[in-house]
A and B are shown apart, each in its own frame.
Chain A
């Protein structure tokens, strides 16, 4: 059980300490490899990731969101990092049980023992913004009660301010970073409003709850901005599910359900569950998928979203002029690649990456279990041309998170997916 640092000083100190710890790990690794001639980096990566995770769990909020992103964006970091960071999705040390009890009293007007038939004071899962407790209502309904860490809103503002000053030193002064920073800040702050999340749960339940996709039901009478009550979903997280060595058929079935869920969301052009990391999906063992955590639900402007979708067929056609035109519209290119070598570098990289990314839409089935494809995607992430200027429309932050997050889930599942239905959806959206 830990207390939660909220002041700028405390949080800055932890950031600095983390840097020192990771620096120390690298220094001792290089010293050892110099003296003993050993150069096994996996232990170094694991130790550094554990140190990073350990310190980030103290910070929660924005820092843990970063840790969660590390676990999705495989390829950018070594596998050992991603494995440890996966814990950031649900294995954060919970807060004091007495504090949870007091928060519930202040928010719901009564203590858990008064409001619920039973309430487990031990958190079922604890993540970046809050922790979840299993409880039973007086009518026997099993529910999940999500309790927000106190002061988490303030920490988001101070962490974003810290990140802004950090980016300012890295990013070229002429480049605007505010739209990106503000997009992340607004999304994070929206995630702290549990009433909005409850309404999203309601809408997603009406839209998607079916035989293959199960979603919770919101219980508004026991919810406030900081406490959220919803029906409890049973199921295993991805790692736990894979430990049972499931057969290929069930992997394919799950993959298909995830793939269809994603495309059904975009078909409605309404809102999208934009937090596609393994911690937000549950598997029941029969191939059905539970979708939890509706804090990060996004709606994108129609024009951006259609252009984003248009990237898929355009990359597959490999028509350079059309690709270029789209890239300009989506703010990926800032100048003519024929005249500017830096733009040419970007153009070539994005064109090839875009084609690889669109490959699942090429044929009627696609094997996400193909190790070559995983290597290909990871290779692009590793070899991305880094510069000190941000590229692409600010909405890419979340569309990429959803789309890439889905690919990584499917690759981890090692499933084969029928993509014909999704291609029809995209065709209808773009050309009808």
Chain B
């Protein structure tokens, strides 16, 4: 991660903390907190709102940086990769839980345009599914933009669950994510649909319907 990006992430995290102290904090007070010059912040962000907005896509960047440090990450199964992404995001959200609880709905879910967090989240999901060679051919037919969106909506469902989770260390949220990821893996790794398609193709080629379409 380059220096500029690291600074941007630092600013957004400090902004999240400052927001809880005073939602209308000034850039000057943030610069003071970070012990940097105000101009350095303005070179990276036009205003306070952008700093707070960047907090969410920056979680994906931190997650990506972390996966680079995990040995054998490419060997992870689909469920492990999915749960790694979602669990890491919630681990990171946990560090600024109060900020996330008071801004996620307004800034991400109810954003007027597609929030960059949504875009980057869907890109990660796309990456995970496209790099997995164990996914059955038939299942891969349903992997498209609508599918990525549905996973993103599932993530929002997890967010809702996490925000109300009273179990120790949010154990129930982890368990839910683990169960969901295992289920998705079962669905996408199963070869039943492949075999079904194969059988269907065979029957079609040897059916009167095929003779009719040929003629």
Q: Does chain A have a CB within 8 A of B94?
A: yes
What distance in Å separates the Cβ of B143 from its nearest Cβ neighbour in chain A? 21
What distance in Å separates the Cβ of B112 from its nearest Cβ neighbour in chain A? 33
What distance in Å separates the Cβ of A423 from its nearest Cβ neighbour in chain B? 48
What distance in Å separates the Cβ of A296 from its nearest Cβ neighbour in chain B? 22
Q: Does chain B have a CB within 8 A of A226?
A: yes
Given known contacts A96-B79, A107-B169, A102 and B69 CB-to-CB distance under 8 angstroms = no
Considering the chains assembled together, what is the distance between the CA atoms of A151 and B182 in angstroms?
17
Given known contacts A101-B84, A111-B66, A106 and B94 CB-to-CB distance under 8 angstroms = yes
- Of B35-43, B44-52, B171-179, B207-215, the one touching chain A: B171-179
Chain A binding surface, main DSSP class: loop
Assess whether B178 is in contact with A106, with CB atoms less than 8 Å apart.
no
Considering the chains assembled together, what is the distance between the CA atoms of A337 and B84 in angstroms?
64
Instruction: Digitize B162-174: 1 where CB-to-A-CB distance is under 8 Å, 0 elsewhere.
Output: 0000010111101
What distance in Å separates the Cβ of B45 from its nearest Cβ neighbour in chain A? 28
Q: Does chain B have a CB within 8 A of A99?
A: yes
Query: Which positions 195-242 of chain A face chain B at CB distance < 8 Å?
Result: 226
Q: Which residue of A lies closest to B171 (CB)?
A: A150
Instruction: Digitize B49-73: 1 where CB-to-A-CB distance is under 8 Å, 0 elsewhere.
Output: 0000000000000000010011110
What distance in Å separates the Cβ of A95 from its nearest Cβ neighbour in chain B? 7
Considering the chains assembled together, what is the distance between the CA atoms of A153 and B148 in angstroms?
35
Q: Does chain A have a CB within 8 A of B101?
A: no
Q: Does chain B have a CB within 8 A of A97?
A: yes
Point out the residues of chain A lying under 8 angstroms from B172, CB to CB. Answer: 151
Across the A-B interface, the 6 shortest Cβ-Cβ residue pairs: A98-B84, A102-B87, A3-B182, A98-B83, A150-B171, A3-B178
Interface residue tally on B, bucketed by range: 20 to 34
Q: Does chain A have a CB within 8 A of B80?
A: yes
Q: Does chain B have a CB within 8 A of A287?
A: no
Assess whether B175 is in contact with A96, with CB atoms less than 8 Å apart.
no
Query: Which positions 152-200 of chain B face chain A at CB distance < 8 Å?
Result: 167, 169-172, 174-175, 178-179, 181-182
Assess whether A151 is in contact with B175, with CB atoms less than 8 Å apart.
yes
What distance in Å separates the Cβ of B125 from its nearest Cβ neighbour in chain A? 15
What distance in Å separates the Cβ of B72 from its nearest Cβ neighbour in chain A? 7
Point out the residues of chain A lying under 8 angstroms from B175, CB to CB. Answer: 3-4, 6, 150-151
Instruction: Digitize A77-100: 1 where CB-to-B-CB distance is under 8 Å, 0 elsewhere.
Output: 000000000000000000111110
Q: Which among A3, A95, A101, A107 has the greatest number of chain B C-beta atoms within 10 A?
A: A3
Q: Does chain B have a CB within 8 A of A1?
A: yes
Point out the residues of chain A lying under 8 angstroms from B77, CB to CB. Answer: 1
Query: Which positions 224-266 of chain A face chain B at CB distance < 8 Å?
Result: 226
Considering the chains assembled together, what is the distance between the CA atoms of A198 and B74 in angstroms?
35
What distance in Å separates the Cβ of A118 from its nearest Cβ neighbour in chain B? 9
Assess whether A99 is in contact with B72, with CB atoms less than 8 Å apart.
no
Assess whether A98 is in contact with B69, with CB atoms less than 8 Å apart.
no
Considering the chains assembled together, what is the distance between the CA atoms of A226 and B169 in angstroms?
10
Q: Which residue of A lies closest to B76 (CB)?
A: A97
Q: Does chain B have a CB within 8 A of A41?
A: no
Q: Does chain B have a CB within 8 A of A383?
A: no
Point out the residues of chain A lying under 8 angstroms from B98, CB to CB. Answer: none
Instruction: Digitize B103-116: 1 where CB-to-A-CB distance is under 8 Å, 0 elsewhere.
Output: 00000000000000
